[in-house]
Amino acid sequence: MCTVCGCGDPKSPAQPHDHDHDHDHGHDHSHGHEYGHGHGRGQKLDYGKGIAGAHVPGLSQARIVQIERNILAENDRYAALNRQTFKERGILALNLVSSPGAGKTTLLVRSIADLTIRCSVAVVEGDQQTSLDADRIRAAGVPAIQVNTGKGCHLDAHMVHHAMETLALPDKGVLFIENVGNLVCPAAFDLGEATKVAILSVTEGEDKPLKYPDMFRAARLMILNKIDLLPHVPFDVARCLDYAKRVNPEIGIIQLSAVTGEGLAAWYDWIDANRTLARIVG
């Protein structure tokens, strides 16, 4: 049971689900009605006709309500809570996003092996199903929690909030949040991270930054992975980097291979610099 929102299922709070149970309401009212209404011509229950004569006592008539609410306000509320926790504990939280198969988990396993010498590390693993990735991470020797999104295509801040309740958080260290492999949906959801890191591999199309601009705009760093395979694939690095800069002139770019280790030093330097920032300014 969630202590913040009262939800019972931390795994898929934002997913649609069929109901075979009633929800309790936090307020007292009757759902019955004692007034008449027409059911004419195969329409749905039509409470829209004759409003003045048929409104429920205590409720006002048809009216306009002005509200200015960001659709993602609830997600952003949890993101702010998460961010506050990261700030208080000096944690650098990175939201890793990519297509499936870009090498997120391989990069993570390698990074963990190298980073645990200098700081504590923990991982939130998002996948639609299975705990295979979290198992891989735990085998690498750091705490990991698997969040299965079910039919969901992205992690949201609420899921991460719950994950943080049970995960041993890496004080003054790095929390990697490996999002669901998807270059579209995770772009919209702030999890409270310091930044999104978009990972693209050279076995994909070099035009992905243009095809999925939201993600490359949402990220502050792009990692071009699997550069050891460049001799074998028709991937134009210069063009890819140009496309990434078109959608996000400020994006940083690191080219590396999680398998051979080439370029990893730059990635770790970037992490160290941002850990320092997380400690100083949160």
Contacts with other proteins, residue ranges (CB under 8 A): 14-16, 27, 44, 47-48, 51, 55-56, 58-75, 152-154, 156, 184-185, 187-189, 209-210, 213-214, 217, 243, 245-247, 249
Residue with tokens 């320092």, as numbered in its chain: 276
Q: How far apart are CA 54 and CA 221, in angstroms?
A: 58
Find all residues with CB under 8 Å of 70, minimum gap 6, and list them.
Answer: 76
Nearest to 122 by CA among 106, 107, 134, 132: 134
Nearest to 256 by CA among 273, 271, 245, 243: 271
Least distance in angstroms from the C-beta of 148 to other proteins: 15
Q: Which is nearer to other proteins, 133 or 190 (CB)?
A: 190
Least distance in angstroms from the C-beta of 152 to other proteins: 7
Least distance in angstroms from the C-beta of 256 to other proteins: 24
Q: Which is nearer to other proteins, 16 or 231 (CB)?
A: 16
Q: How far apart are CA 190 and CA 259, in angstroms?
A: 30
Least distance in angstroms from the C-beta of 66 to other proteins: 5
Is there a contact between 170 and 122 (Cβ–Cβ < 8 Å)? Answer: yes
Q: Which is nearer to other proteins, 23 or 117 (CB)?
A: 23
Q: Which is nearer to other proteins, 18 or 117 (CB)?
A: 18
Least distance in angstroms from the C-beta of 183 to other proteins: 11
Nearest to 163 by CA among 196, 117, 131, 120: 131
Q: How far apart are CA 191 and CA 84, in angstroms?
A: 11
Q: Which is nearer to other proteins, 74 or 228 (CB)?
A: 74
